[in-house]
Structure 1
Amino acid sequence: MTRWFRSYWSEEDTWFYFEVDADGWVTRQVELQGPLQKPIAAASSIEWEAAQQAGTLADYEATFGATAEVSVHEWDAHEPQDLAAKEFETVWRTARAICHARVRAC
C-alpha cells in the first residue's frame, strides 16, 4: 500500500515529502527548504533509475535531485505527519514545475 507523509528536519530547515511503497521504499520525494519553502528536489525513483541507465543521471539530479536510497524503515523520520494523496500531489506538481523552470532559465 502506498503511503504519503512529510517530515521536518530543523537542522536543514527542510520539509521532506515522501511517497513510499508497501515495502517502505521512497518512490517520489520532494524537499522544500527555508522559510519560503523553496523546492530543492522533486525526484522520482523510476525516473532516477531510467536516467542512470540512459547515462543522463547528472542532468536528472541537477534538475530534480534524488530520492532516499534506503527504506524509510531504516532511518528515523523526524515526527512524520501523514498526508492524503491529494496533498502530496499538490506539493509534487508545484515543486516539479519550479525545478523544471529553474533549469530552463539557466
Structure 2
Amino acid sequence: MRHWFRSYWAEDDIWFYFEVDADGWVARQVELQGPLERPLAAASLAEWQAAQQAGTLAGYEATFGATAEIPVQEWEGHKPHDLTLQEFETVWLTARAACRARARNRSTDEE
C-alpha cells in the first residue's frame, strides 16, 4: 500500500513531498524550496526508469529531477508529516506544471 508524507530539511529550506510504496521506495517525489516554495523537482521513479532505458535520462532529470535512491527505512533525521493522496496530488500537479514550464523556457532561451 502506498502512503504520502512530507519532510522539511532546514539547511536547504526545502520541503520534500513523497509517495512511497509498501516496500519503502519512493515512487514520486516533489521538492519545494524557500518561502515561495519554488518547485525544484517533481520526479516519478517509473518515468525515471523508462528514461534511463530509453537513453533520455539527462533530459528527464534536467526537467523533473530524480527520486531518492534508498528506501525510507534507511533515512535518518527526517520527521515525516503524513499527507492524504489528495494533498500530495495537488502539490504534484502544481510542481509538474512548473517543471515543464521551466524546461520550455530553457529551450526557448537556448534557441
- TM-score tier, shorter chain, comes to over 0.9
Residues of 1 paired with 2:86 and 2:43: CA distance? Answer: 17
Structure (1 or 2) with the greater helix fraction: 2
Distance change (3 Å), C-alpha of 1:77 and 1:22: farther
- Identity across the alignment (%): 73
Equivalent residues in 2 for 1:21-60 (5 A)?
Answer: 21-60=21-60
Contact in 2 for aligned 1:30/1:43 (Cα 8 Å) = yes
Contact in 2 for aligned 1:18/1:29 (Cα 8 Å) = yes
Contact in 2 for aligned 1:7/1:77 (Cα 8 Å) = no
CA shift for structure 1 position 92? 0.1
Equivalent residues in 2 for 1:10-21 (5 A)?
Answer: 10-21=10-21
RMSD: 0.7
Aligned residue pairs: how many?
106
Residues of 2 paired with 1:76 and 1:42: CA distance? Answer: 22
4+ long deviations beyond 2 Å = none
SS at match of 2:4: strand
CA shift for structure 1 position 36? 0.6
With 73-82 and 86-95 compared, the bigger mean Cα shift is at 73-82
Q: Which residue of 2 aligns with 1:82?
A: 82
Q: Unaligned stretches of 5+ in structure 2?
A: 107-111
Does residue 101 of structure 1 match 2:98?
no
| Higher Rg | 2
Deviations 1:54-76 (A, max 9, x none): 00000000000000010000112
Deviations 1:1-32 (A, max 9, x none): 10000000001100000000000000000000
Q: TM-score, normalised by structure 1?
A: 0.98
Residues of 1 paired with 2:105 and 2:77: CA distance? Answer: 34
Q: TM-score, normalised by structure 2?
A: 0.94
Residues of 2 paired with 1:37 and 1:95: CA distance? Answer: 10
